[in-house]
Amino acid sequence: MRRIETGMAGGAVAVLAVACALVAIDRPPASAETRTIVDSAGRRVEVPARIERVFAAGPPATVLVYTVAPDKLLGWYRPLTLDERAFIPERYLEKPTLGKLTGRSNTPNLELVRTAKPDVILDYGAVGLHDAALADRLQKETGVPYVLIDGRLAATPRAYRMIGDLLGVSGRAEELARYAERALADVETRVARVPAGARPGVYYARAPRGLQTEIIETIEALGARNVADGTIERGPLVSVTLDQVVGWNPDVIVTIDREFAAAVRADPAWQAVKAVRDGRIYKIPPVPWSWLDLPPSANRLLGLRWLGRALYPALFPEDLRAEARRFYALFYHRAPDDAQLDALLDSR
């Protein structure tokens, strides 16, 4: 080390030396191969100091990693469809299909994980005791560090900052975190102006007949009332009857199913539902990931604007085309063209 040749008094030099020593202690040595982090479940996980290969445990984690560090994502959880491929840059299309480790009706293929040789397994979603125990078990069985990140919609900015630090892409992650913060704060501010009595009841219709549903955060974030809440279990997709939907009498129906959206308006059996009589049926833009909840990941941020416009058009008057183009370019690495935007925003 070069000597300091100044006129400092001996005490000042000593203070400087102590400060330098403290900095050296606080920083990990340059040759360190691992570091310990605390994940969203409070687990201490030893991970490589440099992470280049990420195995996403399920669909939400796949989307999260793809948006922030696509080159580090080892593969997709299932093959991309032709419609999805149109929104993904060519250099990422041929990533292999690796399946998923978590999710409904899923048996983890641990040999596939070992063959992929990831530096880390990343899961994005629930972080309760059950999830932590599963992460510990899979980490032990695969020998790969397993990190849990809180997947709640409100925690999206924190999730991006956490993954940015984990993967060494903090600058990119901060850009996405700030977008998320602004989107969440903006929605909260606008929805606060809506009196409780003016907030609509919403039914989320799934399956070709529209008779499956679930409770999702996007509807709640917009201050609307999910008509099935309190009747069905939170979490899994639930089958319901048309009589139940008629009894709930939602003001608005949202659906990802094109067949249901096309047929329900003319179906006599559904005419008893207020949303159908009023024509307030909205087909969720579906690709490359549903704007509302499939999977529950970063895609929900754009869904807030889309659903906000459907529920409260006077409060969300902005051009969705411009916002969608911006979001896709920023998060999905490719801006849609005009024809793609037409197809995305076609409500039929």
CA distances from 310 to 130, 175, 223 (A): 36, 27, 13
In this predicted structure, what is the pLDDT of residue 109? 82
The predicted model scores a pTM of: 0.88
* CATH number of the domain residue 200 falls in: 3.40.50.1980
Are 175 and 52 in a shared domain? yes
Domain contains 340 = yes
How many domains is the chain partitioned into structurally? Answer: 2
In this predicted structure, what is the pLDDT of residue 347? 66
β-strands 44-48, 54-56 pairing: unpaired
Are 215 and 111 in a shared domain? no
Q: DSSP of 180-214, one letter per residue?
A: HHHHHHHHHHHHTTS-GGGPPEEEEEBSTTS-EE-
Say whether 7 sits in a helix, a strand or coil.
Answer: coil
Length in residues, the chain = 348
Domain contains 284 = yes
Are 295 and 332 in a shared domain? yes
Are 67 and 156 in a shared domain? yes
In this predicted structure, what is the pLDDT of residue 110? 87
Are 295 and 204 in a shared domain? yes
Q: Which residues pair with 255 in a beta bridge?
A: 205, 283
Yes or no: say if 251 and 199 are a contact pair by the CB < 8 Å rule: no
- Amino acid letter for position 330: L
Yes or no: say if 62 and 299 are a contact pair by the CB < 8 Å rule: no
Are 274 and 303 in a shared domain? yes
Positive or negative torsion for Cα 341, 284, 67, 181: positive
Domain contains 164 = yes
Phi and psi, residue 191, nearest 5°: -65, -30
Question: What whole-number distance in Å separates Cα of residue 35 and Cα of residue 144?
Answer: 14
Q: CA 333: distance to chain centroid?
A: 16
In sequence order, the 6+-apart residues with CB closer than 8 A to the CB of 338 are none
Are 121 and 214 in a shared domain? no
End-to-end CA distance of the chain: 71
Q: CA 221: distance to chain centroid?
A: 14
Say whether 226 sits in a helix, a strand or coil.
Answer: strand
Range of the domain at 274: 195-344
Say whether 109 sits in a helix, a strand or coil.
Answer: coil
In this predicted structure, what is the pLDDT of residue 293? 93
In sequence order, the 6+-apart residues with CB closer than 8 A to the CB of 105 are none
Domain contains 17 = no
**pLDDT digits 0-9 by tens, 223-238:** 999 999 999 888 789 9
In this predicted structure, what is the pLDDT of residue 103? 66
Are 89 and 182 in a shared domain? yes
In this predicted structure, what is the pLDDT of residue 104? 61
Are 214 and 332 in a shared domain? yes
Pick out the chain residues at pLDDT < 70: 1-31, 103-107, 347-348
